[in-house]
Amino acid sequence: MKISMQEARDRIPQRDIILETTVRLMVPFIQLYGLYVIVHGHYSPGGGFQGGVVLGASVILLALAFGLPASKEYLTEGTDIIMANVGALIFTGIAALCALLGGMFLDYSVLTKILPIDPISWRSHGIFLVEVGVGMGVMTIMVSIYWDMASAGRLDEGL
Amino acid sequence: MNWIVTFLLVGGVFFLAIGTIGLLRLPDFYSRLHAAGKCDTLGVTLLMTAIALYNLHAPSFGSVLVSWKIFAIVFFIFMASPTATHAMTKAAMLVGVEPWQKKKGTRK
Amino acid sequence: MMSQVFLAVALAIVLLIFPCLVRALGGPTVLDRIVGVNMIGTKTTVLLLLIGLIYKDLSMFVDIALAYAFLNFIATIGACKFFRRSKQVHLEDDLVTEEEASA
Amino acid sequence: MKAKFAAFVIMLIFWVILSGMFDAFHLTLGVISCLLVAHFSGKMLFEGLRVEVRARQILGMLAYGPWLLWEIVLSSLQVTYIVLHPQMLDKMDPQLIRFKTKLKSTFARVTFSQSITLTPGTITVSVHDDEMTVYALTRSAADSLPGEMEKRIARALEPEQT
């Protein structure tokens, strides 16, 4: 049945099942990819920042497909703020701990004074810990920047 | 083996070229989406299949995994490309981009 | 021998990006630009894989290509949503029509 | 619970494909990551369906895939013909059409609409319950809907209803 432009425009529904179903099938894989980028930060391209961006993008994708309130059910505002602070705390905490123990800022090899394993493996594990912190911070801050900008600070409807 | 890979590569570039020519030549937004949505998806699929096959010519465990990763990208593009096309069409409908129509006297 | 073929294909894709750039820069509507940018993104995904083959380090570039595909999709959806909401989108770029010019 | 476990297994397979490193450090973190994703987003993969239903749908998709690929090749050749034709505008007759689909489940409808977008000269504009609005590039493409594709999808994804 042939219809006109105006008719088609009027019949576009509020909920878009195509977008919703596709996003639903994609989001877990995107999140796992973000975690993979964080974990493999010191062997392949990527690291805390890039993985955090991918993780944040998955929540932004949810907000785009299901609306902003649904994404706030998935990641509540309180959790978001707590995770952002904990992430920043992990990063600065480890860095300052290194400085307090007598090394340079972010010099992980002095951490052997806390847990005696050899300095070289402390370097790789220390980088990993710092990257987890950076990833958490970047993810949550990206999501909250998106929330604020998409809804002009009101955090209600969004795009 | 190399011949199959070359054939797939040439086919992929051909379809990408068709998509690009279509993007330039077709008269309105909606028909441009036809070129973008179909030809690009097929071209990318052919090219990525060629790369995955070529990657297997010295098979080891790592290269097999890399080929699977390339196929994961192909699956992803197969899901994502129609969705993006659909989202763009819907946005154009709602914003009010007028489609090109044959001039038969009555033109809405 | 095969690396030359890959180099030729990569060059061809780079050349094909320029017409898309024409569409992305020249409009006429905002959504045409989105289509152009989306096509550039799809081509770049393949280009990254080809660069990986040419430099014989495919396993590293596959990760970048995967991330690029994800972010390209999200950017397209976001841009579409954004322009759907803003009702005052200037559809045509040549904003001054003939009536306005004469008035 | 079952959904989360199934999601965990799927995520673990995807992790092995991604990672390719099997020392204790990476494997442990991989399992932790998979658990996190399965716990927070595992439900999303199944959208309230039973796991068996979703598994059968995925298998149906695998059977349907090759045919779809062939259709995409045909459709691309058709678009090629239109794009390269010197009097391209004579060949085109764009129109919007609407028709009712017989498919019941959301997943089948979405698959159908994505397939329409990928095959000859048609793009899905919207799906509203069982009404689909389609933008077709030529008259023959518009006439060919819903056609054989709907039957194949019904056979692959909704065996109990055919």
Nearest CB neighbour to C73, from listed B20, B54, B80: B80
Burial of A93 (0-12, 13-18, 19+ CB in 10 A): middle
Candidates B37, C42, C16, C5; CA nearest to D72 is: B37
Contacts of A42 (CB under 8 A, 6+ apart): A124, A127, A128
- B72 at interface of D, judged by CB pairs closer than 8 A: yes
Give the CA diameter of chain A. Answer: 78
Q: What was the pLDDT predicted at A86?
A: 92
Q: Are residues D21 and D94 in the same domain?
A: no
% of chain B exceeding 70 in pLDDT:
90
Q: Are residues D68 and D148 in the same domain?
A: yes
Residue D35, number of CB atoms within 10 A of its CB? 16
| B chain contacts of residue A29, beta-carbon cutoff 8 Å | 76
A60 in Cβ contact with A29 (< 8 Å): no
Q: How many domains does chain D have?
A: 2
Residue B53, number of CB atoms within 10 A of its CB? 16
Q: Which residues pair with D95 in a beta bridge?
A: D136
The rounded distance, in Å, linking the Cα atoms of D151 and B29 is 31
pLDDT tens digits for D107-136? 888 888 888 888 767 788 878 777 778 887
The rounded distance, in Å, linking the Cα atoms of B21 and C10 is 18
pLDDT tens digits for A67-117? 888 888 888 888 889 989 999 998 888 888 888 877 777 677 776 777 777
Q: Are residues D17 and D62 in the same domain?
A: no
Indicate yes or no: CB of C70 within 8 angstroms of CB of A30.
Answer: yes
Min distance A38 CA to chain D CA atoms (Å): 10
pLDDT tens digits for C18-75? 888 888 887 777 788 888 888 888 889 989 988 888 888 888 888 888 888 888 899 8
Q: Are residues D79 and D138 in the same domain?
A: yes
Contacts of A66 (CB under 8 A, 6+ apart): A20, A23
Q: Are residues D81 and D19 in the same domain?
A: no
Residue D42: strand, helix, or coil: helix
- The ranges assigned to domains in chain C are 2-102
**A159 confidence band (pLDDT: 50, 70, 90):** low
Q: Are residues D86 and D127 in the same domain?
A: yes
Indicate yes or no: CB of C31 within 8 angstroms of CB of B51.
Answer: no
Element at D137 (helix H, strand E):
none
The rounded distance, in Å, linking the Cα atoms of B15 and C12 is 12
- D39 at interface of A, judged by CB pairs closer than 8 A: no
Q: What sign for the dihedral angle of Cα D98, D101, D104, D107?
A: negative
**C96 confidence band (pLDDT: 50, 70, 90):** very low
| A chain contacts of residue D14, beta-carbon cutoff 8 Å | 29, 32
Determine the structural domain holding residue D61 and report its residue range.
54-161
Residue A141, number of CB atoms within 10 A of its CB? 17
Q: What is the CATH number of domain C2-102?
A: 1.10.287
